[in-house]
């Protein structure tokens, strides 16, 4: 479903160019779970952002269902991100002035016109119930624990029924118990929905729960 070939990413610095990715090849099938592990600075998050259409590679291609996403217009690529992909980040990125429900339905409001807001709200309520927050729909982020905020972010990522979920250190800002619950939830939803799941993590215990582990170091996949 998703394939990358020959990915390179170089950032310009005053002293010398910083070569973060150095020829990465990657494949993920529909419904597959993959962990990307490696030390800090290895290029894990850069790889995830390129695969998700968030950051253009310096060289190489990313194909989503056969379409090379960086040959598309910015608008077409944004449509793929909103309609086909979901994103879960370490720092949640919830809007503080919005309730949990309002944060969850944002992707649907971007996708559809406001006349469909009622349908989006109903689906948002169902998703919050599914992630165990049925009684927290009117709470704002500062009224939720870190684990609860991450569950809101997961529900938001599922709002438009994506085919793939990208997770960048989803437990990195949580205590061990909350982190375990978040990983349990992600894997449970993967089985239920058959959505591909890519998790960037430094935690080998999390990685061992996925079907495939990619070890990345110094910008290259070692195994």
What is the C-alpha separation between 175 and 192, in angstroms, rounded?
26
Please give the pLDDT value at position 116.
75
> pLDDT tens string for the chain (223 positions)?
999 999 999 988 777 888 999 999 999 999 999 999 988 888 899 999 999 999 999 999 999 999 999 999 999 999 999 889 999 998 889 999 999 999 999 988 887 655 577 888 999 999 999 999 999 999 999 999 999 999 999 999 999 999 999 999 988 888 888 888 889 989 999 999 899 999 999 888 899 999 999 999 888 998 7
- The radius of gyration computed from the CA coordinates of the chain, to the nearest angstrom, equals 17
Q: What is the pLDDT of residue 113?
A: 54
Query: How confident is the model at residue 76, as a pLDDT?
Result: 93
The pLDDT score that the predictor gives to residue 41 is 81
Closest CA to 34 of 194, 175, 213: 213
Q: Where are the domains of the chain?
A: 2-221
Sheet holding 220-221, edge to edge: 85-89, 164-168, 196-200, 33-37, 212-217, 220-221
Homologous superfamily, domain 2-221: P-loop containing nucleotide triphosphate hydrolases (3.40.50.300)
Is-contact 95 87, C-beta < 8 A? Answer: no
Question: What SS3 state is found at 196?
Answer: strand
- If you count DSSP H runs as helices and E runs as strands, how many of each does the chain have, helices first? 7, 10
Task: Report d(CA 47, CA 24) in Å as an integer.
Answer: 8
105-153, pLDDT tens digit by residue?
998 888 765 557 788 899 999 999 999 999 999 999 999 999 999 999 9
* pLDDT of res. 178: 86
* pLDDT of 92: 87
Predicted confidence at residue 118, as pLDDT, reads 83
pTM given for the model: 0.90
Do residues 100 and 128 make contact, with C-beta atoms less than 8 angstroms apart? Answer: yes
């Amino acid at each position: 479903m998703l394939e990358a070939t020959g990915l390179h990413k170089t950032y310009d610095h005053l002293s010398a160019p910083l070569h973060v990715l150095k020829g990465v090849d990657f494949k993920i099938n529909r419904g597959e779970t993959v962990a990307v592990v490696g030390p800090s600075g290895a290029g894990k998050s850069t790889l995830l952002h390129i695969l998700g259409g968030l950051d253009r590679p310096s060289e190489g291609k990313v194909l989503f269902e056969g379409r090379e996403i960086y040959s598309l217009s910015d608008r077409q690529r944004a449509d793929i991100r909103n309609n086909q992909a979901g994103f879960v980040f370490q720092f949640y990125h919830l809007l503080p002035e919005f309730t949990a429900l309002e944060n969850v339905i944002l992707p649907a409001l971007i996708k559809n016109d406001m006349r469909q807001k009622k349908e989006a709200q109903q689906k948002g309520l169902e998703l919050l119930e599914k992630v165990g927050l049925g009684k927290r729909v009117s709470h704002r982020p500062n009224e939720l624990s870190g684990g609860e905020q991450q569950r809101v972010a997961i529900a938001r990522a599922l709002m438009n029924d994506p085919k793939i979920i990208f997770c960048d250190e989803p437990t990195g800002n949580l205590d061990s118990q909350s982190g375990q619950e978040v990983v349990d939830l992600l894997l449970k939803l993967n089985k239920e929905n058959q959505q591909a799941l890519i998790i960037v993590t430094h935690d080998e215990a999390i990685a061992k729960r996925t079907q495939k582990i990619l070890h990345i170091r110094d910008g290259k996949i070692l195994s």
